[in-house]
Amino acid sequence: MTAAREPADPAAKVIPIESAPSWSGPEPRPALADRLADGVGAALSGQLGATATRLLGKGWEQRAAGGLGFLRRRLTGDYEVDDFGFDRELTEEVFLAMLRPLAEKYFRIDVRGTEHIPADGGVLIVANHSGTIPLDALMTQVAVHDHADRHLRMLAADLVFVLPVVNELARKAGHTLACNEDAQTLLERGEVVGVWPEGFKGIGKPFADRYKLQRFGRGGFVASALRAGVPIVPCSIVGAEETYPMIGNFKTLARLLGLPYVPITPTFPWLGPLGAIPLPTKWTIQFGEPIPTDSYPKDAADDPMLVFNLTDQVRETIQHTLYKLLVQRRSVFG
Amino acid sequence: MGKVVLVTGVAHWLGARFAGQIAGQPGVDRVVGVDAGPPPAALPFGVEYAQVDLRRPAIARVIAEHEVDTVVHLHVTSLGHGGRALVKETNVIGTMQLLGACQKAPGVRRLVVKSTTAVYGSAPRDPAVFGERMQPKALPAGGFARDAAEVEGYVRGFARRRPDVAVTVLRFANILGAHGDTPLTAYFRLPLLPTALGHDPRLQFVHEDDALEVLRLAALDAPSGTYNVAGDGVLLLSQCARRLGRPTVPLLRPALGVVGRLARQLTAPADRAFSQEQLQLLTHGRVVDTALLRGTFGYTPRWSTSEAFADFAAHVKPGPLPPARLTAVTDRLTDLLADHRPTEPEELRPR
């Protein structure tokens, strides 16, 4: 307890020049802090405390104390991030807490097959991409954390790391650049890595092409999984396609802004910021059976035929699961 | 017969301390320190001094005269007197002269060159963690990073021409500690830290004791090669600022560039704190992989990044918001909550 300083002994008032109060000296603040503390203490034990208990429910002090601890660690920089900039505490306490209502209440996500995500060790989750804004990736992160108790480390487009603010948030939430080096490092460290290999082709496709998987890049993700010898879990996401039905694309504006596309949806840009609200569709996230890669020889990642075959296998699995889930679906908003 | 070690850049604290340490090693007969100016006052015991401007061929005479077999080239720095042009000339031309002299000296068996992780650059489209074998997407645009990249190029050429010489290139992350006198320490000593709005770069540090120890091992008998040298873990710039108790001033990246240009007109140390490549570092950050250092080279840094930073923080004047004071305030508030609650005090426990 550093704040509960003894009141200064009157005899100790003579201050030698060497230790005269300076900016670094603790003298001026505790007095103020003490006064403040006494005031707050008095208020809490009086009427205010009772009111707070009535308003905030029992045990609010404990929650407030937890919040203060969090605040202290944040203010003093006393927390850890990993080499990729992943801030576990911030992700759990803030990012996931903010996204969770969206996942549970708004999209009412039905998460299936989480038993296919191993409790530890590296695994590569490959999913279909849709919905104009990568909400599907963020929702998968919530699902993996809440249902499998793992942190999903996403491989994101380089655009994410060029934009200010977005790059900072993405790094802190555990995402990194979609490149072979990063993917392999994370997989070898035993992380759950998520990749959306369709990229902008998938997320920015017209509404008419919904649930039709686009090309799966060059299969770099399969090579990374092969090198690390980790299983690939195909993941099919239904519902995200209809959140922002993209009926058009401002191609000229997109080229001007250096963006891959600028969407036109039934509500955007006509309703202004209101148009940015996603439609409340009902989602299903289905994790499929893992495809093992550890049975292949060491240099399998350098065999393009094998990489292409595995890529196709993953793509087919996701596409078939999507069709199966769509047949089962009663309504887009149900 | 023991080793004869030539150390360049002994006027700088790192060179001086390294020369002093290596002079006391068993198996080392002589240590010759080289720098451009008159003998530094703090030249350690047991180190002979030769005043040689590295940009002149005179260095060849020193190597021949003392029968040098180990050359430790530390005179590759971002600092120096006489402006950027002179520093660049010393870094690049100096290295070329030194390597030329080594090539002509059959007695040279070992070459250690101090480089920097800045050779990887700092860009948003780079991998998050750099390994030694990754090639930067583009050569650094200028400044010390460019010098170091060019120096490494010449060293690779030398290694091809003299395969009998064990060549070790050490890419140091930012060196921190009690002595620290680098552009980054100049930055961290500012009362307010201007940062790039919307960016929180990952930084990595190596403690000066670890840097000296790695240099010592490299000069004696460690396996040759190129190694990243950095402490465990990373710190974000925001964490560094808070641990120093210095408030940050987030500025839009172009505005930060303007501040940097203005600051470069000022006097030391503010002019050093905002070099072009440092602004890049403070925007995009840089992290390197040190598996080779631990494995092949055989050294595990004793100080982690955050420990090295804590040691540095202990040696600078704390900022206006020292962490201890903030902790005192929040702890006091936590206590009040505990006082206020008469029952179940055992439940209150910081998570």
By DSSP bridging, strand B235-236 and strand B202-203 are antiparallel
pTM to 2 decimals? 0.86
- Distance between CA atoms of residues B77 and B90, nearest Å: 9
Please report the pLDDT score of residue B269 as a whole number: 63
List of chain B residues whose C-beta atoms are within 8 Å of the C-beta of residue A41: 336, 339-340
Of B127, B329, B347, the CB nearest to A179: B127
According to the model, what pLDDT value does residue A33 have?
58
**Interface probe with B: pick from A6, A68, A186, A188, most Cβ of B within 10 Å:** A68
Q: Say which amino acid occupies B92.
A: V
- What is the reported pLDDT for A223? 94
Provide the pLDDT for residue B343. 47
Can you tell me the distance from the alpha carbon of B11 to that of B189, in angstroms, rounded to the nearest whole number?
A: 23
The per-residue pLDDT for range B194-223, each reduced to its tens digit, is 999 999 999 999 999 999 999 999 999 889
Model confidence at B17: pLDDT above 60: yes
Pick from B125, B332, B339: CB nearest A33:
B332
Lowest mean pLDDT among A20-24, A194-198, A256-260, B287-291: A20-24
Q: Which residues of A touch B120 (CB under 8 A)?
A: none
pLDDT band at A219 (very low <50, low <70, confident <90, very high): confident
Residue A177: left if φ>0, alpha if ψ -120 to 50, beta else—which one? beta
Residue of A nearest to B342 (CA): A45
* Best mutation target, A40, A75, A83, to test chain B (most B CBs within 10 A): A83
Q: Is the pLDDT of residue A9 over 50?
A: no
Nearest to B129 among A24, A61, A185 (CB): A185
Average pLDDT, integer, range A240-246: 93
Taking CB atoms and an 8 Å limit, are B326 and A75 in contact across chains? yes
Spatial neighbors of A157 by CB under 8 A, at least 6 apart, are A178, A199, A200
Q: Is the CB of B332 less than 8 angstroms away from the CB of A69?
A: no
The structure tokens listed for B148 are 């170091």
Residue in chain B nearest A163 by alpha carbon: B198
Fold type of domain A88-243+278-328: Glycerol-3-phosphate (1)-acyltransferase (3.40.1130)
Residue A208 makes CB contacts below 8 A (sequence gap 6+) with none
DSSP A248-296: EE-HHHHHHHT-S--EE-SSTTTTGGGGGSPP----EEEE---B--TTS
> Is the preceding peptide bond at A269 cis, omega within 30 degrees of 0?
yes
| A47: pLDDT strictly greater than 90 | no
Q: What percent of chain A has pLDDT over 70?
A: 88
Q: Who wins on pLDDT, A159 or B268?
A: A159
The reply to whether residue B326 touches residue A72, judged by beta carbons under 8 angstroms, is yes
Name the 3-class secondary structure at B204: coil
Instruction: Give the whole-number percent of chain A exceeding pLDDT 90.
Output: 67
Q: Which residues, including other chains, have CB under 8 Å from residue B231's CB and lie 6 or more apart?
A: B173, B204, B205, B206, B207, B210, B301, B303, B304, B305, B306, B307, B308
**Burial class (CB within 10 angstroms; exposed 0-12, middle 13-18, buried 19+) of B278:** buried
* CA distance to partner chain A, nearest, from residue B342 (Å): 10
Query: Which of left, alpha, beta for A278 (phi over 0: left; psi -120 to 50: alpha)?
Result: beta
Backbone angles phi, psi at A253, to 5 degrees: -60, -40
Residue of B71, B86, B275, B108 lying closest to B182 (CA atoms): B275
Instruction: Enumerate the domain spans of chain A.
Output: 32-78, 88-243+278-328
**Structure confidence by residue, pLDDT tens digits, A251-308:** 999 999 989 999 999 888 888 888 889 999 999 999 999 999 999 998 899 999 999 9
* B340 vs A contacts (CB less than 8 Å): 41, 44-45, 49, 61
Which pLDDT band, with edges at 50, 70 and 90, does B80 fall under?
low
State the pLDDT at residue B41: 80
Nearest CA to A180 out of A221, A137, A127 is that of A221
Q: How far apart are CA A170 and CA A184, in angstroms?
A: 19
B153-205, pLDDT tens digit by residue? Answer: 999 999 999 999 999 999 999 999 888 778 899 899 988 999 999 999 999 99
Contact B276, B260 (CB under 8 A): yes
pLDDT of residue A288: 96
Q: Which residue of A has its CA nearest to B291?
A: A185
Whether B344 has a pLDDT exceeding 60, the answer reads no
Report the residue from A26, A44, A168 with minimal CB separation from B340: A44
Partner-chain contact A171 B242, CB within 8 Å: no
Q: How far is B235 from chain A (nearest CA, A)?
A: 7
| Mean pLDDT for all residues in chain B | 89
Interface test with B, best of A40, A62, A187 (most B CBs within 10 A): A62
- d(Cα B32, Cα B27) in Å, to the nearest integer? 15
B234 and B305 in contact (C-beta within 8 Å)? yes
Could you say which of A37, A83, A171 has the minimum Cβ distance to residue B336? A37
Tell me what the mean pLDDT of segment B314-322 comes to.
87
In this complex, the residue of B124, B240, B337 whose CB is nearest that of residue A167 is B124
Check: complex ipTM more than 0.85: yes
Set of chain B residues whose Cβ sits within 8 Å of the Cβ of A26: 324-325, 328
Q: Which of chain A's residues have a Cβ under 8 Å away from the Cβ of B326? A: 72, 75-76
Nearest neighbour of A83 by CB, restricted to B125, B129, B240 = B129
- Rounded to whole angstroms, the Cα distance separating B147 from B152 reads 9
The pLDDT mean for chain A works out to 87
Would you state the pLDDT for residue A179? 92
Mode of pairing for the β-strands spanning A232-238 and B202-203: unpaired
Query: What was the pLDDT predicted at B166?
Result: 96
Q: Do B328 and A181 touch (CB under 8 A)?
A: no
Which residues from B are below 8 Å from A33, CB to CB?
Answer: 328-329, 332
Cβ of B243 within 8 Å of Cβ of A76? The answer is yes
Query: What is the phi/psi pair of residue A184, to 5°?
Result: -70, -45
The values of phi and psi at residue A130, to 5°, are -165, 165
pLDDT at residue A106, as a whole number? 96
Inter-chain contact A84–B198, Cβ cutoff 8 Å? no
CA atoms within 13 A on the CB side of B224: 16
**Distances A99 to A93, A145, A174 between C-alpha atoms, Å:** 11, 11, 15
CA distance B264 to chain A (A): 25
Neighbours of B303 (CB within 10 A): 21
Across the interface, do B199 and A164 touch by the CB < 8 Å criterion? yes
Closest-CA distance of chain B to residue A109, Å? 30
Closest residue on chain A to B320 (Cα): A23
Examine the pLDDT at A19 and tell me if it is beyond 50. Answer: no
B178: helix, strand or coil: coil
Residue A10: per-residue pLDDT: 44
Q: In DSSP terms, which residues pair with A153 in a beta bridge?
A: A193
Q: For chains A and B, count residue pairs whose Cβ atoms are closer than 8 Å.
A: 159
